[in-house]
Amino acid sequence: MARKDDFTGTLMHCIVCTKPIPPTRRKDAVTCSTECSKARKNFWRSQQDMVECRYCFRPSTPEERARYIKWRWAEKKAEKEATHATDTGSV
Ligand SMILES: [Zn+2]
């Protein structure tokens, strides 16, 4: 079995830009910098967003998301109009 100590002298490379990972980075780091780390995270996020919603885990496509945002705005607008109507007492 390979142990963690077997890789102490091994030069690791960033999985995003393939540059060597500096020794100042975390021991189990797979990226060379915060920028590469962000790029990696955003890649996986975009992959996940194509499959399901990041927040509710329901199926999600860009069209579905656009439709949802539209619906939310319509809902908000209707709510605002309803509260406004009751406040002024015109209804
Ligand atoms: Zn990198």
Cα-to-centroid distance, 28 and ligand 1 (Å) = 14
Give tens-digit pLDDT for 20-76: 999 899 888 999 999 999 999 999 998 888 878 788 777 777 788 788 889 999 999
Q: What are the φ and ψ backbone dihedral angles of 74, each rounded to 5 degrees? A: -60, -45
Is the full-model pTM beyond 0.75?
Answer: no
Cα-to-centroid distance, 73 and ligand 1 (Å) = 40
| Domain edges within the chain | 12-60, 61-91
Cα-to-centroid distance, 41 and ligand 1 (Å) = 12
3-to-11, 46, 74 alpha-carbon distances in Å: 16, 34, 58
